[in-house]
Structure 1
Amino acid sequence: MKFKIYILFLLSLQVVTAKEITFGKVSKEEVLATQHKRYPDAKAAILYKSELVHFDFHAETGWQLITEVQYRIKIYRKAGLSWATLHKSFLTNSEHKQNIYQIKGFTFNIVDGNVVRTKLENEGVFIERVNDDQSKLAISMPNVKEGSVVDVAFKIKSHAYWNIDEFWLQFDIPVDFALVQLKIPEYFVYKQYNRGFYPVEMEQSQRNKSLKVVQQADYSFKTPTNVALGKETINYIENIFTFTLSNLPGLVAESEVVNINDYRAAIKFELGSTRFPNETYKNYSLTWGDVAKTIYDNDRFGKELNRHDYFKGDLKKLLRDASSEMERAMVIYDFVKSQMNWNYGFGILCNSKGIAEVYNEKKGNVADINLMLTSMFRYAGLKADPVLISSKTNGIPFFPTVGTFNYVVVGLQMGADLMLFDATEKYGYPDFIPLRAVNWVGRLIREDGTTAQIDLKPKFRSLNAELITVSFNKDGSITGKYRYHSTGYFAFYLRKGNSGNPSDSYRVNMEKKFSDMEITNFQVLNHNNPSQPLEQTYGYTKKSAFETIGRKIVFTPFFNSGLNYNPYKAEERNLPIEKVFTQSFKKMATIKVPDGYAVESFPEPVSIVLPKNMGSYKYEVWIEEDIIKINSEINWNTTVIPPEFYSDVKGFYDQIGKWNSGKLIFTKQ
């Protein structure tokens, strides 16, 4: 017989944390402090942060997860005042619903030599609905100024014990002390994952706990009934995990880091299994196949893939003259891009109102648009399947959970090749995935339930190439032709940035970039043909373009180059350099020797290769009669450069700047 448990009271031992503070009471010294002891430039600091998690059992609702959160924050400078408002996202859907309650807070200031506290009122608490599944809490503390200390605390309650939020231990300001503690009944087994550069101290202990219970017939821990049988004491073990970190520096954002959260000190717990009294063992450790099946079985995913009624009429007309598979694919892809408008919403599930209504409204989230595209491909007899992705901002998918994914594109099988499609971008093209979704690997879900890991690394190298011809004039000016050739992501972002009025926008932007040049005969080719290179061509005249010193002319060949300085100024770097995609920058100049002059000197050719061939640079010079040809080329062959190679990259750009600003010297004959 199964028994239903009613908790009458709980017998427990008190566990003392590594550092105790009393909420609502601060020292005068904390408020008087004008700068952080260890990091004097800090704008603010978290003096104390704790997240204490424990489990409660209620007869009517079963197990629930309680998280008690507390922050104590010191504001040192005006720039730190943003830390007077705390934000917390929480889930509102029925399966994972979280309730935030018992929100309280105080702001502490020095007034007439005494510590005075101001209480947080209801007017300082705001909840904003983000989407169908998520809302955001904002706690705006009152009377905050430079020097203030704020205490904030709240609790989060959830019955989704299989979904414990990730614990952040590092922020953009220093953290003096961070504590995470989980008290987990023996019935739950979790897997733990750590992230970041700093070691987390962990203490693990156990304690005995007792429940005075009322038994009832046909009890299940998750489906209670109401037939009382008697009282009993149930003893069990509570496993206690305590994590502490102290004196963490702020996590400073650095250039060329796409998602700084990938490097933030954090702890994640994933439910592995449960073994409740009088119930069988249940394994929650999912495989990627399990995750795929769960998502596919959702009506807002798999069911929508099988709907064709809302677009059949339109597609039949469009496909009349499309014979080959690739022709059919491109007709459908271009149709969806032109018809649908992305509302900037992420997600792997279609809008709750249904994809047919989204089709009529011509606007939807990424799942609406790309699952629609998948369905159309299949209707046209093409082998297409959705590919689940964790976006850049969502983090790297380390282990299989449904919440891992928040983006979806289409995988289309063409012979032996799998091509990826994303119709959210008007200037997209086959095998192009927006950078927001280029995040290591995706997971393809086939109709038969099988899955495959898909490499999301771009298949192509993006190129910016500049070709310039130069002729010298007696008035000190130069004239010539300029051609700007872009492919891949470089071309995509140029098209997107000039989408409003392309015929004028490109020219205006180029004139702003080279304000000292007169531009004529400006032309743009392939703006509306994303599969082709984007070309910009024009004639130019540049005054005062060279120096005349006595009988010599001194000229910088790459006078319009943005590569004659070093973008890496810092002496050291803590985070990797993320290039995201392989890329090349080429500059080619064809220069006519001034009439009556001869070449005296020019920069020597050079070739530089970074360790592990991560990148390379070459500078080449050819002289053929009265023509000089110079080629400067940078190639990045990897997408992530570890911080230990930062000094190599910095030195690499020092050399690039030196050669790209090199001079040609001509002597009068």
Structure 2
Amino acid sequence: MTLAQNTIPFGDFPIDELRNKVYASDPGADAIILSDKAIASVNFDGKDFFVELVRNTRIRIVNRRAFDLANVTLSFYTDDIVSKYRASTFNLQDGKKIETPVPKKSFIREKTSNYRYSLKFSFPNVNEGSIIEYSYTVRLSENALYTLYPWRFQSGIPVVESIFTVVYPEYFNYKSVISGSATSVKRTHRESDGMFFGNRMNIYIETWSANNLPAFRDEPYITSRQINLTGVRFELASVNFPSSSRQDISATYEKLTEKLLDRTDFGRAIANAGFLAKYAENVTHGCKNDLEKLKKIHEYVSTKILWNGLEDFTASASLAKVFREERGNSADINFILIAMLRSQKIKADPVILSTRSNGPINQLQAMEQQFNYVVAYVMADGNFYLVDATDPLRPFNLLPSECVNGYGRQISKYESNFVELKNDEKYSVSRNLNLVLDRNGELSGTLKTTYSGLSAYDFRSQIRFAGEYAYHAATKFNAADLSISEINLGNLHLRDSAVVEILKFKVKDRAQHAGNKMIVNPFLTFFIERNPFYQEERFYPVDFRHPKEVFLTITLTLPEGVEVLEIPQNASYILGKNDGSYRYTCSWNGKEITVTTMMKITRTTYPTEEYRMIQDFFSKIMKKQSDLIVLKSL
């Protein structure tokens, strides 16, 4: 039974499209998606229902900066069967539309994981003004029957037309959810007749469309690109076949738990890892309590097993093989962590989750496809911790920021619940700046910065990526107004400790002279952050991810023969309903001027309606930090 003739014309566009006219809605665009169309239909092959997807995408290459779009990678699940595919480049030559097809031998299939493969190809003869077009037909894996196909109307480049059509028999009841700009999407519904085992039935045809969508623009502090892109996704809520009662299809988390515990790449993988007990015993020798054991085992696993960069919630191989080869995906590593903790009688369960870039989970429907990561849920000495061992620089009680995404699901035979994905992580920076001013207006001093929690992890990651020498060079380059003579880093290799950085420096011509007066701003430009909320309009919610606190103490020692005429007034600002705060104090004791500031952000997410409030809060901080101290030479 085929419900629809799923065909989308290929190369069917007017020759005028090849004249590379300026796109009025975005004249500076490097490329434009002229059309992106797909039809997903539920069909029956005499044995099983399945979903067939036909897709056609057409892109105009406006200039050379978009040439990389000519290299395409399509990703599929291992069980997806691609039956038809083609691609061509179109150019205007002597007033005619010339097509250059991609040869079949140039399509390369490549396995990317145990569950996915990619189809890669490159367009030939691409020039400024070329139109590239590709299409394919794929029979999606059986799980697609429950979710159809998630569709994105929006992209990183402008989209002129995006149309997604779903076709299914009346026996199926699908729910849909729109993400991003719901007002940009239009939906139409119509019905046609069909037959199923001799019974007449209705076929539902729903079309979702959007036109002239702007390119997605990243904004500071967004949750993730995927969540904010305009799109639509589907879930099968129920089925109701003739001569049978309505059956709710939505999978339950109880069933999912049973299934996962019985899988060889999940529950059984952990249960059959008894060989790890002797290693756990050696690692924890001499530990006095479970928390010490947790720290030791976490350090051992995160250091021994190299993460291959693949995110998954199921094991890629036997844990014995992963342990022997010392390399695995995120699930391999965290399953080894859980198995070693359990061997020491420490309660540890897997928590499956969806990362930020993958979107939030649905707590009402337990669809396997929505999960792509797993961490350990551990009880040690009466306290629970969410633990990830994929990075040797990350302390045991810090989750990857990508994993801080609402709720995950604890998978356990005896206790299975939703778990909030956080550990009281906090981004904390404390600075102590000691300055000495001479009569010529030159400053010298030391800046001691203490990075704690997430800021310490970020600092260590930066050093790992660039190296200490490159970090020193970048620091001196970024602080061009300072003459830095010394940089010292402390606790860099003690991952559970705060990182301490000490700079020694001099600054010439920091003070402005006006007769016998000197005007000084003690806030060095080196550590004054630009207001991240400078845009007049905000399109997406603000997400700080974690609570944040920044402390600063400045001590300015004045030279003999200089008195204070004016110091900044104290100030205090509140964000929302005590969602954050900023305090500024300035005092003079006859020899030294002391400035202290404290900024705290306690609430981490804000809807776009509250953007002006946040913008105003940070604008006040930036303005206050520009206040000047006025001195007079006697």
TM-score, normalising length: structure 2? 0.92
Structure 1 residues 159-184: Cα deviation after superposition (integer angstroms, max 9, x where no partner): 51335221111112232222222221
Indicate yes or no: 2:609 matched with 1:636: no
What SS does the corresponding residue of 2:513 show, helix, strand or coil? strand
How far did 1:260 drift? Answer: 1.1
| Aligned residue number for residue 32 of structure 2 | 45
What SS does the corresponding residue of 1:53 show, helix, strand or coil? strand
Indicate yes or no: 2:222 matched with 1:257: yes
What SS does the corresponding residue of 1:481 show, helix, strand or coil? strand
Indicate which of 360, 369, 373 corresponds to 1:396.
360
Indicate yes or no: 2:469 matched with 1:487: no
Indicate yes or no: 2:422 matched with 1:435: no
Report the more deviating stretch, 480-489 or 302-311: 302-311
Indicate yes or no: 2:162 matched with 1:197: no
Indicate which of 162, 165, 181 corresponds to 1:181.
165
Q: Is the 8 A contact 1:593 1:599 kept in 2?
A: no
Indicate which of 494, 514, 518 corresponds to 1:529.
494
Indicate yes or no: 2:191 matched with 1:206: yes
- 2:16 is aligned with what amino acid? E
Indicate yes or no: 2:349 matched with 1:375: no
- 1:631 is aligned with what amino acid? T
Q: Is the 8 A contact 1:463 1:585 kept in 2?
A: yes
Structure 1 residues 601-629: Cα deviation after superposition (integer angstroms, max 9, x where no partner): 12222222233444332221011121111
Q: Is the 8 A contact 2:40 2:148 kept in 1?
A: no
| Aligned residue number for residue 107 of structure 1 | 89
Q: Give the whole-Å Cα distance in 2 for the aligned partners of 1:249 and 1:616.
A: 35
- 2:345 is aligned with what amino acid? G
The 1:83/1:318 distance shift into structure 2, 3 A limit, reads closer
Matches within 5 A, 1:550-589: 550-563=515-528, 565-589=530-554
Indicate which of 342, 357, 360 corresponds to 2:324.
360
Indicate which of 139, 148, 171 corresponds to 1:164.
148
How far did 1:350 drift? Answer: 1.1
Matches within 5 A, 1:79-478: 79-92=65-78, 97-158=79-140, 160=142, 161-199=145-183, 200-210=185-195, 233-276=198-241, 282-352=247-317, 354-398=318-362, 399-414=365-380, 416-448=382-414, 450-474=415-439, 476-478=441-443
What SS does the corresponding residue of 1:311 show, helix, strand or coil? helix
Structure 1 residues 180-199: Cα deviation after superposition (integer angstroms, max 9, x where no partner): 22221233332322212133
What SS does the corresponding residue of 1:310 show, helix, strand or coil? helix
How far did 1:329 drift? Answer: 1.9
Report the more deviating stretch, 591-600 or 395-404: 395-404
Indicate yes or no: 2:38 matched with 1:56: no
How far did 1:438 drift? Answer: 1.3
Structure 1 residues 537-575: Cα deviation after superposition (integer angstroms, max 9, x where no partner): 344333333333331222220124432643334321212
The 1:276/1:359 distance shift into structure 2, 3 A limit, reads same
How far did 1:640 drift? Answer: 2.1
How far did 1:113 drift? Answer: 2.0
| Aligned residue number for residue 226 of structure 1 | none
| Aligned residue number for residue 617 of structure 1 | 582
What SS does the corresponding residue of 2:135 show, helix, strand or coil? strand
| Aligned residue number for residue 58 of structure 2 | 72
Q: Give the whole-Å Cα distance in 1 for the aligned partners of 2:109 and 2:479.
A: 48
How far did 1:580 drift? Answer: 1.1
| Aligned residue number for residue 223 of structure 1 | none
Q: Give the whole-Å Cα distance in 2 for the aligned partners of 1:128 and 1:337.
A: 29
Q: Give the whole-Å Cα distance in 2 for the aligned partners of 1:508 and 1:120.
A: 47
Q: Is the 8 A contact 2:335 2:350 kept in 1?
A: yes
How far did 1:252 drift? Answer: 1.9
How far did 1:511 drift? Answer: 3.5
Q: Is the 8 A contact 1:63 1:159 kept in 2?
A: no
Q: Is the 8 A contact 2:220 2:532 kept in 1?
A: no
Q: Is the 8 A contact 1:295 1:402 kept in 2?
A: no
- 1:56 is aligned with what amino acid? N
The 1:24/1:519 distance shift into structure 2, 3 A limit, reads closer
| Aligned residue number for residue 227 of structure 1 | none
Q: Give the whole-Å Cα distance in 2 for the aligned partners of 1:368 and 1:239.
A: 43
- 2:32 is aligned with what amino acid? A
- 1:32 is aligned with what amino acid? R
Q: Is the 8 A contact 1:54 1:66 kept in 2?
A: yes
Structure 1 residues 112-171: Cα deviation after superposition (integer angstroms, max 9, x where no partner): 122222223224423332111101223433322222233322111135133522111111
Report the more deviating stretch, 511-520 or 233-242: 511-520
Q: Give the whole-Å Cα distance in 2 for the aligned partners of 1:651 and 1:567.
A: 11
How far did 1:360 drift? Answer: 1.5
Unaligned runs of 5+ in 2: none
What SS does the corresponding residue of 2:614 show, helix, strand or coil? helix
Q: Is the 8 A contact 2:109 2:117 kept in 1?
A: yes
Aligned residues: 629
How far did 1:306 drift? Answer: 1.4
Unaligned runs of 5+ in 1: 1-6, 214-232
CA RMSD, Structure 1 to Structure 2 (Å): 2.7
Q: Is the 8 A contact 1:190 1:270 kept in 2?
A: yes
The 1:512/1:177 distance shift into structure 2, 3 A limit, reads closer
Matches within 5 A, 1:9-48: 22-48=9-35
- 1:176 is aligned with what amino acid? V
How far did 1:594 drift? Answer: 1.9
How far did 1:107 drift? Answer: 2.7
Q: Sequence identity, in percent? A: 23
What SS does the corresponding residue of 2:221 show, helix, strand or coil? coil
- 1:67 is aligned with what amino acid? L
| Aligned residue number for residue 230 of structure 1 | none
Larger Rg: 1
How far did 1:487 drift? Answer: 0.9
Structure 1 residues 416-452: Cα deviation after superposition (integer angstroms, max 9, x where no partner): 531111111212223210112111111112232x311
How far did 1:465 drift? Answer: 1.5
Q: Give the whole-Å Cα distance in 2 for the aligned partners of 1:628 and 1:522.
A: 25
- 1:637 is aligned with what amino acid? T
Q: Give the whole-Å Cα distance in 2 for the aligned partners of 1:24 and 1:317.
A: 66
Q: Is the 8 A contact 2:8 2:56 kept in 1?
A: no
How far did 1:466 drift? Answer: 1.1
Q: Give the whole-Å Cα distance in 2 for the aligned partners of 1:88 and 1:617.
A: 48
Q: Give the whole-Å Cα distance in 1 for the aligned partners of 2:449 and 2:4.
A: 72
- 1:187 is aligned with what amino acid? Y
The 1:54/1:560 distance shift into structure 2, 3 A limit, reads closer
How far did 1:380 drift? Answer: 0.2
